[in-house]
């Protein structure tokens, strides 16, 4: 009895040791999902080892250098049958076939000390194997708008994905062209189509391609990777494993990208049509000196992006200043074409009355249909400017000081010769009375002034000085607050009171003082006021400093003219 038990235990141990030894013998198996393969077509390589290993145990990039690896994923499986535990690890590698037809070889896959079998693949020519390609559960057809384009000319590629079953999930990789911008255009379209009696689900996607260099280039078509729902009517477990992985690639296409003409100068704008227009805001409103006129210029081009539209330059011209705002961009589609537009608003401020013309704006572009340069321009705008209707502050009238008066009020400048002697006597007594009253008032005021020990001297000149000082104080306040509009108004008022200038335009002050830093500050103030919400004026302190320097320079110039030699002669 004991011997029988011992024999049973010994047999069991031998069985388990032999099973363990068998499990330690690793085996690697490699397989592909299709063979032959169309050139550049994606396919799946599955590598399975009967062991539970880590993902880092196999380096796919090192052993598959001759193929383009799209992605790698792994999975593990454990099963127990009749008390025997089996573990396997699978690596699923999505590869893209070489672009050259012929025979290629996947070398043996080595994981640890185990090696798989080698696989020979037949790569078919895509152009000669369209029928073979369309027998796949998924294939792609493409169509190009043109195979001969200019550098930076935008063209369309339409991709149509055909699936023999309903799509479960997937990803469509955009086409690839060296040194080119590729973007999706519009939304995907879904439809159904019957080919040779077989029904396909069709997904259409359009791409806009803009090549950035010239030459004969190869356009790699879109690549699809996904899963379709397969027929599971025969399966008892219809809700399990009802999808099938599929992949497809479009046939590559050769295109010719022409360079820009050798004699081309300036901004390169290849397009089918370009137009330039201008619109004036409130065209019925009368125009006055110093009042801004708002003009909006628009460049519209077909078949280009907004980034390709040129920058418009606006310079001051005789009799007016120009202040451009920040440009605005927009794009739309019409009849399947991309239309890009750039809007530029400017403020034109006339400096003098009369008639003047805002010149036309020209844009040179290259017509891709005709293969030649063309010129588009806006219409010139003629404006009639009238003098400003704003009231002009007159120069104050300076009265004669009391020391120059003879103690009586001045008589009228002219008197009719027919005045009677009695009238003259009456006027004399009235003048004497008023003069006496004035002297009494002056005496009282002098007594009050002496008592208060204050310095101000009465007179219109001092009133003028006080008013100018108040204006200067207000100007400093709003300028230091960087309030552009309030500073403009305060500067005009101060210049009117200080220098008796009409001040239709701030540049009158700059010309009067003839000080370059002040001119620059005034120009910057005006540009910030009329250049849209994007420009912020922060130079109030610098403007006040320039004003002080300009007045100091003007005072120094007057002193030099009076006979004093300059402190630092040139």
Model pLDDT for residues 182-212, shown as the tens digit of each residue: 999 989 999 999 888 888 999 999 999 999 9
Segment among 279-288, 300-309, 316-325 with least mean pLDDT: 316-325
Q: Using one digit for the tens of pLDDT, what is the confidence trace for 237-250?
A: 554 547 778 888 88
Cα-Cα-Cα-Cα torsion 427, 432, 433, 436, nearest 10 degrees, comes to 160
**Chain centroid, CA 210 distance in Å:** 18
Comparing CA positions, the residue from 324, 259, 263 lying closest to residue 296 is 324
Q: Does domain 24-125 have CATH number 2.60.40?
A: yes
Determine the Cα angle at 387 with ends 386 and 393, to 5°.
Answer: 160
Mean model confidence pLDDT for the chain: 79
% of the chain at pLDDT higher than 70: 78
Predicted pLDDT at 408: 41
Instruction: Give residue-wise pLDDT tens across range 143-195.
Output: 998 999 999 999 999 999 999 888 888 889 899 998 999 999 989 999 999 88
Higher-pLDDT residue of 541 and 367 is: 367
**What does the pLDDT read at residue 232?**
52
Q: Identify whether the C-beta of residue 546 lies closer than 8 Å to the C-beta of residue 518.
A: yes
**Does pTM surpass 0.95?**
no
Q: Which residue has the higher pLDDT, 364 or 435?
A: 364
**Lowest-confidence segment of 52-61, 188-197, 346-355, 366-375 by average pLDDT:** 52-61
Q: Is the model's pLDDT at 422 over the cut of 70?
A: no
Return the higher-pLDDT residue of 246 and 318: 246
Euclidean distance between CA atoms 159 and 136, whole angstroms: 17
CATH of segment(s) 270-386: 2.60.40
Kindly indicate the confidence band of residue 403, based on its pLDDT and cuts at 50, 70 and 90. very low
What is the side-by-side order of every strand in the sheet holding 287-288? 287-288, 381-386, 354-358
∠ Cα 395 399 402 (to 5°): 155
Which residue bears the tokens 């239709």? 504
Task: Choose which CATH entry (1.10.3470, 2.30.29, 2.60.40, 3.90.120) describes domain 134-232+242-259.
Answer: 2.60.40
| Residue 492 phi, psi (nearest 5) | -65, -45
pLDDT surpassing 90 at residue 73: no
Q: Which residue, 270, 259, 41, 58, is CA-closest to 134? A: 41
pLDDT for the residue numbered 542: 79
Distance CA(418)–CA(424), nearest Å, equals: 11
Cα 121 to Cα 28, 66, 229, 374, distances in angstroms: 19, 12, 27, 54
Tell me how far the alpha carbon of residue 133 is from its chain's centroid. Answer: 43
Token reading at 404? 């120059």
Give 409: exposed, middle or buried? Use CB within 10 Å, 0-12, 13-18, 19+. Answer: middle
């Amino acid at each position: 009895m004991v011997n029988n038990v011992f024999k049973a235990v010994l047999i069991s141990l031998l069985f388990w040791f032999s099973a363990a030894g068998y499990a330690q013998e690793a085996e690697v198996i490699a397989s592909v999902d299709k063979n032959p393969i169309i050139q550049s077509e994606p396919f799946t390589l599955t590598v399975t080892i009967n062991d539970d290993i880590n993902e880092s145990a196999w380096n796919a990039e090192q052993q598959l250098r001759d193929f383009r690896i799209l992605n790698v994923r792994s999975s593990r499986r454990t099963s127990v049958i009749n008390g025997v535990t089996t573990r396997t690890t699978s690596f699923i590698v999505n590869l893209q076939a070489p672009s050259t037809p012929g025979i290629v070889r996947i070398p043996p896959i080595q994981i640890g000390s185990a090696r798989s079998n080698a696989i020979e693949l037949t790569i078919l020519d895509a152009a000669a194997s369209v029928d073979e390609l369309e027998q796949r559960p998924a294939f792609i057809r493409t169509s190009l708008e043109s195979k001969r384009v200019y550098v930076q000319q935008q063209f369309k590629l339409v991709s149509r994905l055909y699936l023999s079953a309903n799509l479960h999930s997937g990803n469509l990789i955009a086409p690839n062209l060296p040194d080119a911008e590729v973007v999706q255009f519009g939304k995907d379209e879904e439809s159904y189509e019957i080919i040779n009696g077989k029904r396909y689900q069709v997904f259409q996607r359009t791409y806009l391609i803009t090549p950035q260099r010239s030459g004969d280039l190869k356009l790699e078509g879109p690549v699809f990777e996904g899963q379709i729902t397969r027929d599971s009517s025969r399966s008892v477990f219809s809700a399990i494993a009802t999808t099938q992985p599929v992949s497809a690639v479009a046939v590559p296409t050769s295109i010719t990208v022409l360079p820009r003409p050798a004699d081309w100068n300036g901004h390169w704008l290849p397009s089918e049509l370009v137009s330039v227009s201008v619109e004036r805001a409130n065209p019925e409103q009368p125009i006055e000196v110093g009042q801004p006129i708002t003009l909006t210029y628009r460049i519209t081009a077909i078949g280009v992006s907004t980034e390709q539209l040129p920058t418009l330059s606006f310079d001051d011209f005789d009799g007016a200043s120009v202040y451009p705002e920040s440009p605005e961009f927009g794009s739309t589609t019409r009849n399947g074409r991309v239309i890009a537009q750039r809007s530029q608003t400017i403020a034109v401020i006339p400096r003098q009355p009369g008639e003047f013309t805002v010149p036309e704006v020209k844009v040179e572009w290259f017509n891709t249909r005709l293969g030649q340069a063309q010129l588009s321009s806006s219409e010139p705008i003629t404006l009639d400017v009238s003098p400003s209707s704003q009231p002009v502050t007159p120069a104050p009238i300076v009265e004669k000081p009391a020391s120059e008066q003879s103690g009586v009020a001045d008589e009228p400048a002219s008197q009719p010769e027919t005045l009677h002697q009695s009238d003259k006597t009456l006027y004399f007594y009235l003048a004497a009375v008023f003069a006496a009253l004035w002297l009494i008032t002056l005496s009282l005021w002098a007594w009050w002034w002496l008592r208060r020990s204050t310095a101000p001297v009465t007179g219109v000149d001092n009133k003028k000085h006080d008013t100018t000082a108040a204006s200067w104080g207000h100007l400093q306040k709003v300028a230091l607050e960087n309030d552009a509009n309030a500073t403009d108004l305060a500067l005009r008022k101060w210049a009117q009171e200080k220098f008796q200038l009409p001040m239709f335009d701030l540049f009158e002050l700059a010309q009067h003082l003839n000080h370059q830093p002040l001119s620059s500050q005034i120009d910057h103030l005006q540009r910030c006021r009329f250049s849209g919400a994007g420009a912020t004026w922060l130079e109030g302190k610098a403007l006040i400093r320039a004003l002080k320097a300009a007045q100091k320079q003007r005072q120094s110039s007057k002193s030099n003219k009076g006979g004093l030699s300059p402190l630092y002669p040139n």
